[in-house]
Amino acid sequence: MATAVRKTNWFAIWVSVAVVVVVAIIAGLVIWMNASTTASNTPGAIGTETPKGSIVNSETGAITFGSGTNTVDTYIDFLCPYCNQFEQSEGPTIKQLIADGKVTLNVHPVTILDDRSSGTRYSSRAASAMYAVAVADPDNAYAFLEALYADQPGENTAGLTNKQIIDVASKAGVNVTDDLKKAINDNRYMQFAAKWQLPTGANGTPTLVVNGAMVGVTMNPQTDILARLK
């Protein structure tokens, strides 16, 4: 009895090979995407320098605007949505009081919301950038502060990248030199920014202190600030 010659099923073989290749490509893409996500969700360099500039108090961490006899201290986190509300509702009044020579504003960047930026430590990076601008271009530091809130990212996102922060500074009129770019990209003052805490008795941001007395923020500048000036 004759034996039938078995034909090789090349179609089935090529289909199997194609499936293996596709699976390998997909696996590679998954690994690459996971690696990319991990890389993007890290803060990068952690700078250890102390900012030294005409409006930066390296002993208290305050960035000072104005020279009035009344003092207003704000403790803010650049990721804090309530700080943004405070800036929108009371910032214009504070800015005018500074211009009128009635108030010295001490801004204290804090970093209590670092855990709400998907691992990128946006609060610390933004605070470091704020110090970098205060050192490099003090005349435009307040405009940069306002711009950081105008472009504030949402909580539980990765926040702005350092490149985007540089773009914010540029749009705010800051003189963005190569050294300032490097300071922001390197998170030059991150460790300095991260060491400051809220004052005793405060339980969150924004915290407002007027002439040494802590004030419960109502988002009303008349009661929060103006009524407390000397």
Is residue 83 in some structural domain? yes
Number of domains, the chain: 2
Residue 49 within any structural domain of the chain: no
Question: Is residue 187 in some structural domain?
Answer: yes
What is this structure's pTM?
0.83
pLDDT at 45: 84
Residue 142 one-letter amino acid? Y
**Could you tell me if residue 54 is inside a domain?**
no
What's the pLDDT score for residue 170?
99
Cα distance between residue 80 and residue 154, in whole Å: 9
Residues 175, 97: Cα–Cα separation, whole Å: 25
Range of the domain at 130: 63-228
- Encode burial over 57-68: b for 16+ CB neighbours within 10 A, e otherwise: eeeebbbbbbeb
Statement to judge: residues 31 and 78 lie in one domain: no
pLDDT band at 24 (very low <50, low <70, confident <90, very high): low
pLDDT at site 27 = 47
Q: Residue 112 pLDDT more than 50?
A: yes
Rg of the chain over Cα atoms, rounded to whole angstroms, equals 26
Per-residue pLDDT at 134: 99
Mean pLDDT of 192-206: 96
Query: What is the arithmetic mean of pLDDT over 89-118?
Result: 98
